[in-house]
Structure 1
Amino acid sequence: MLKPLKAIDSDSFYINPDSRVSVLNYSEGYIQNIFQLVNSKGLLNLVKLYLAEQQSNSKDDIVQEDPEQYVNVLKAILTDNTAVYEKYDKDLILQSIEDLYSYYRQYFRVSVINKHNNAVIKGGFMDIDNNFNELVIDLYRAVEEKVQGFSNHTYRQINAGTNACAITQSIDWPTPAGYENLKSIRFLDTLMLRPPMMMHTKSNKREGLFDAVPDNPIKKFNGKSNEWYCFPAKIGESLSYIYFHRDYFVSGIALGNLFEVASEEEVRGKKPDEILLFGLPETEGDVCHYYHDEANDIWVGEVPYNDKTTYFGYMKKMCLTLHNLHMIYENRLPIHGSMVKISFSNGKTKTVVFFGDSGAGKSESIEALQEIADDKIINIETIFDDMGSFAFDKDGNLYAQGTETGAFVRLDDLSSSVAFNNMDRGIYLNPELKNARVILPANTYKRVVQHHTIDMWVYANNYDSEIGLHQFPDEDAAKATFIAGKRKALGTTDEVGMSTTFFANPFGPVQEEERTRPIIDKVFNKLYQDNIYVGEIYTHLGYDKSKDSLQESAKELLDQLMNN
């Protein structure tokens, strides 16, 4: 059995064949032309890994060479030294070059530039990264066309250099005692993504619940500044510092399509509400935990470094768990669901919150509504896609507020038109596998955190055989269903069959049920005082994969919204 290849790390280039992540640090070394690239240590290190993987599968002479000689072959081709073709077959050289090019593009490649408060860097970092991207393409094409002896007739402008680029910087914030090791970790300031991004991880499903631990995970953190990064996220009205190991750059960059990046002004001098440490060497039981640092009023989460946690759902849901716990302690009610504002052709506008655990049919209900509405719906605006909160303003009025600016949805839940129309903005995770996901931007941060009125709140019921819409006659009947949190699991987590989750939300309310129940009582009491429609929509997803029944339910929903 072959030993796993080790990561290769230098100041300007990191590449890990296990995580399939590569990081280029332009601040430590930037390549400006093809000859610098072919003579670079980074290319030599890439060739080392490529040959180590190829040599057990191929007996070709060119593949069996040592890395230095392989690079010398590339140099000979570039300088038109035809003697190289006397030693190696042209077709084998060409195939190997193609394989090397493909091998590099199998990695998730991100470049970083340290800002150093340099306005030139801030304004031109995309040009810097674009230039590197062109250099990689130019080197590949120059070698390819010299070997084959003619120019190509079709050129494909793919992301040959990087998938994303990030400006990083150090920012001072009031680090409490015990958190000093975080001081050296740079924040992501500005991101540039190259969608559509097809990203692959070793895991494609989330398992289990997150629970509390008696000791602060910060005690375990001793990460180095070149190995860890911080994504400063605005999650609802919370400020969250999400620290992640560089091998988790797939998830760290994907956050850019889900949460608003906090600006330097919003970070400097600000203590966060939540801190997440993603990729610690070990955690208790090798699973995810959280800790409430009451003295500093910070919720601290920990996620272990392993194959399982490469699934983006771990990063997203741990962030939301910390946020929701913070909300509960502020007497707000976390809502696991989707909220949309619908504008109808008859002039009416209604806000609807769809509620339920993963796979209950929240997104599917919205899509079914769009499909059957024809020209009756002018616009559907997503306020939040997965998690929000209900709260009371100073006058005692109930309002809803979102958390994410993006949506993390199953590809199977999207119609082909929605999926393809948004392809140029999407981050796709394991698109060839079951439970494939896409992360799409959905709305602006300003709109997400506004105080939105609630016209209807419906539970997504995927387990009963009824079709249509059902309004609960009183708050006790409504609370019984919402609190029970029943659903039929559809393979999005490790659960199977019928399951129940307190208030359909394993990300905060389950962990703090005692604190959550009084807030639930207050919210339902207010909804029924104000005669707000509270009911359930039968999504039928546990029975009918054709979605015909769901469309029948959507027709009743459309009628209720337009005519009442």
Structure 2
Amino acid sequence: MKKKNHAMENGSYHFYSDKFILRVSNRVCISSEELLTSEPFLKFYYSYLESLKRKQSPLLNIFSTKDYSEDEVKLLQETLYYLNSLQADKVAKLVDGSEIFFRDTLLFNEFIEQFYNYWRRMHRLVICDSVFDRMDQRPYRTFNDLVESLMHLVRSTYRNIQENITGKHPKIYRQVSAGAEIGAIALPMKLNYPNSSFSVLDDIFVIRQVLIYPPMIFNTPNNKRKGQFARIDRNPLDGIKLDPKEWLCYPARVGPLLIAIYFPLSFFELGFSLSNLFELADENDLQRKPDAVYIYGAPEETSLSVDGNETVFFDDEKNNIMVGSVPFKNEYAYFGYLKKMILTLHNIIRMKDGYLPFHGAMVQITMRNKKPFSVLIMGDSGAGKSESIEALRLIASDEIEDLMVVADDMGSIAVNEQGRLVGYGTEMGAFVRLDDLQSGYALGQIDRTIIMNPDQVNARVVMPVTRYEYIMAGTPIDCVLYANNYEAVDKDHPIIDRFANAKDALNVFRRGAVMSKGTTTTKGLVENYFANIFGPPQYHDLHEGLAQKYFQKMFDQNIYVGQMRTQLGIPGSEQTGPKQSATALLQMINEKAGDA
């Protein structure tokens, strides 16, 4: 038996329950022989055997007894080593005692198959630590050499062993992702923070490129978010201790802002899902001071709270930077806690800069022979914003020349140099419910998605839907609608009706009513200030002044302001409601959009 090699040990590896993380600095195994004798493989091999032993699996009958001995474990390891390159009959002669494993080749083959599946059920991450070598300057080569090669190596090793056990080639080859699900290039980089209060973050590696193999499926400990994020009067970084080897930083472009998001490796599947939602900051972005910092998964012992609320943020007005924090607990292991805190920080900063944040979807639609027409639909989660837009895309597919997503969930309204109201987005992706989606929308994009908790209520996908350049274009607004999902359509309640003045409009938008769909812990008819608990309630007076100013401008500029009854919260209308609202919206666009 060859001695253990260290080809995968130029870095480190970690097992976290159902997760495996490999950190490398220059190479991974380049041969099956190296792989089968590497320390991570051996640890995983023993873990697999222990899992079979706990279940008293019949697969253990490849040994002389289910209570296998250490000698038998080592014998099997040596047998697998030679099975990679030799057929079973030759291995049985070469490795003394190995004939016991070939008594039932069908059982032995199934043992290998389940070993492979045990590996693939793990969530797997490879981090390429670029310390002395700027791997980020040649990301394709780095990913190919370190991540792609590992995938091919694992898959070929599995196939070699199976073929040598059975003496047959498979008739069908399934090219599943057998290496890492996620690869990342990370650099040691000190971001431009204002003072030593942020020094605890200096040694945490910063992600520069990400490689993912979608579709990916994750089950998280929690699948709903509750409550609001509370403002505190102390910096969450005070007294915090973070092991740099256990953390990564995802520097995100959130609209025009730079927000540095820190997450522990044990939450890596949530942290890297950000890559389908927020644009990764570039080299120029990282030269300036971040607008905000978010510590997602902060150590419990130093986490702060206010009135029992542990999801908190600090407004460092002196240094003009926001700091958010959520503790490391399973109840917060849900992507909504990542996304919504980031957007809360964005909204507060934008309000302080004089912009009006909105919780809604904005698209620019170009119908055939018509000028582009931009629609902003505001409303709470589950109100039918995205569903109505997607229904419009489907029913008018032959009439729409172009549909550009400006904002999928959150954005802000500004006044451009010409005095026109324009909209900006925050995310180039979407965190979308599967429950109410049109099938064409979900299935047409499934190969790009990250799927979360697919077997539960409020199953979600994270998927790219637009480009960063589009959300930052400053798109003129032609129509603003409130998504009303709780009122049925009848002769007194049309699908779309227009408000006569800013006061009437503000009464509806300010009330922020929605029939909750169970996407958070609330149910029934719920009211939230401007359907946006992510910043406006915490800075109510600031937001109220901005809302009155911007809504009056909407009417001054003759922008169509009204409400659209999506009926998404009415039982039995979950599919037909958005289709009806989309049909009415299409008619309005055709009437309002000028000829090209």
Deviant stretches of 4+, over 6 Å: none
- CA–CA distance in 2 between the matches of 1:100 and 1:106? 10
Are 2:196 and 1:177 equivalent residues in the alignment?
yes
| Aligned pair partner of 1:93 in 82, 101, 108 | 108
2:587 is matched with 559
Secondary structure of 2:245's aligned partner = coil
User: Which residue pairs with 2:281 in the alignment?
Assistant: 262
CA distance in 1 between partners of 2:283 and 2:266 (Å): 25
Q: Does 1:150 align with 2:177?
A: no
Query: Residue 240 of structure 1 aligns to a residue in which SS?
Result: strand
- Report the counterpart of residue 127 of structure 1 in structure 2: 144
Equivalent position SS for 1:81: helix
Q: CA deviation at 1:525?
A: 0.7
One-letter amino acid of the counterpart of residue 472, structure 1: F
Q: RMSD between aligned alpha carbons?
A: 2.1
Deviations 1:266-305 (A, max 9, x none): 213x210010001112133473111111121111011111
Alpha carbons of 1:500 and 1:10: their partners in 2 closer, same or farther (altered >3 Å)?
farther
**TM-score in terms of structure 1 length:** 0.93
* Residue number among 370, 381, 397 corresponding to 2:393 in the alignment: 370
Normalised by the size of structure 2, how large is the TM-score? 0.89
Matched residue, 1:5: none
User: Which of residues 295, 301, 305 in structure 2 aligns to 1:277?
Assistant: 295
Shift of 1:264: 2.5
What amino acid is the match of 1:234? Answer: R
Residue aligning to 1:305:
328
Given that 1:407 and 1:441 are in contact with CA atoms closer than 8 Å, whether structure 2 keeps it comes out as yes
- The alpha-carbon deviation at position 53 of structure 1 amounts to 2.6
Instruction: Measure how far apart 1:220 and its partner are.
Output: 4.3
Aligned with residue 553 of structure 2, among 526, 539, 553: 526
Q: Shift of residue 495 of structure 1?
A: 0.5
- How big is each residue's C-alpha offset from its partner over 1:460-515, in whole Å with a ceiling of 9 and x where there is no partner? 00011124101111111100000100000001111000100001001111211121
Alpha-carbon offset, residue 528 of structure 1: 0.5
5 Å-filtered alignment, 1:48-63, equals 48-59=46-57, 60-61=60-61, 62=63
How far 1:68 moved relative to its partner? Answer: 7.9
Unpaired segments of 5 or more residues in structure 2?
Answer: 1-8, 83-89
**Aligned ranges 1:477-516 → 2 under 5 Å:** 477-516=504-543
- Give the structure with higher Rg (CA): 2
Q: What is aligned with 2:85?
A: none
Alpha-carbon distance in structure 1 between the residues aligned to 2:335 and 2:531:
21
> Are the equivalent residues in 2 in contact too, given 1:38–1:75 (CA < 8 A)?
no
SS at match of 2:503: helix
- Matched residue, 1:4: none
Deviation at 1:547, TM superposition (A): 2.6
Tell me, yes or no, if structure 1 residue 161 matches structure 2 residue 176: no
Give, in whole Å, the separation in 2 of the partners of 1:372 and 1:113: 45
**1:257–1:64 distance in 2 versus 1, CA, 3 Å:** farther
Aligned equivalent of 1:75: 78
**Secondary structure at 1:223's aligned position in 2?**
coil
CA contact (8 A) 1:342 1:350 kept: yes
Flag the 1:541–1:25 CA change in 2: closer, same or farther, 3 A: same
Hey, what does 2:14 align to over in structure 1?
Answer: 14
Correspondent of 1:38 among 36, 39, 46: 36
**Contact 1:290–1:299 (Cα < 8 Å) also in 2:** yes
Q: Secondary structure at the match of 2:363?
A: strand
Out of 221, 224, 228, which is 2:243 matched to?
224
- Distance in 1, Cα, partners of 2:575 & 2:31: 55
Could you tell me whether the CA contact under 8 Å between 2:192 and 2:286 is conserved in 1?
no
Q: What corresponds to 2:471 in structure 1?
A: 448
Per-residue CA shift, 1:431-467, capped at 9, x if unaligned?
Answer: 2322111112122211211111100000000011124
Query: In the aligned structure 2, how far is the partner of 1:390 from the partner of 1:555?
Result: 26
CA deviation digits over 1:513-544, x for unaligned, max 9? Answer: 12100000000010000110000100111213
Give the conservation status (yes or no) of the 8 Å contact 2:224–2:334: yes
Do the aligned partners of 1:44 and 1:67 also contact (CA within 8 Å) in 2? no
Closer/same/farther in 2, CA of residues 67 and 230 from structure 1, 3 Å limit: farther
Query: Is 1:289–2:312 an aligned residue pair?
Result: yes
Change (3 A) 1:23 1:534: same
Conserved 8 A contact 1:38-1:71: no
Instruction: Provide the C-alpha distance between the structure 1 equivalents of 2:470 and 2:569, rounded to a whole number of angstroms.
Output: 34
CA distance in 2, matches of 1:328, 1:65: 65
How far did 1:211 drift?
0.6
Larger mean CA deviation between 137-146 and 235-244 belongs to: 137-146
Hey, what's the Cα distance between the residues in 1 that align with 2:157 and 2:245?
Answer: 28
Q: Deviations over 1:357-388 (max 9, x none)?
A: 10001011112222333533222211110000
Structure 1 residues 226 and 169, CA gap change in structure 2 (3 angstroms): same
- C-alpha distance in structure 2 between counterparts of 1:558 and 1:436, whole Å: 29
Aligned pairs for 1:311-326 (under 5 A) are: 311-326=334-349
Displacement of 1:553 in angstroms is 2.8
Q: Which residue of 1 aligns with 2:5?
A: none
CA distance in 2, matches of 1:257, 1:104: 24
Residue 562 of structure 2 aligns to a residue whose secondary structure is strand
Counterparts of 1:330 and 1:520, CA distance in 2: 14
Match of 1:548 among 562, 567, 576: 576
Instruction: Give the counterpart letter for 1:109 in structure 2.
Output: R
Number of matched pairs: 553
1:239 maps to 2:237: no
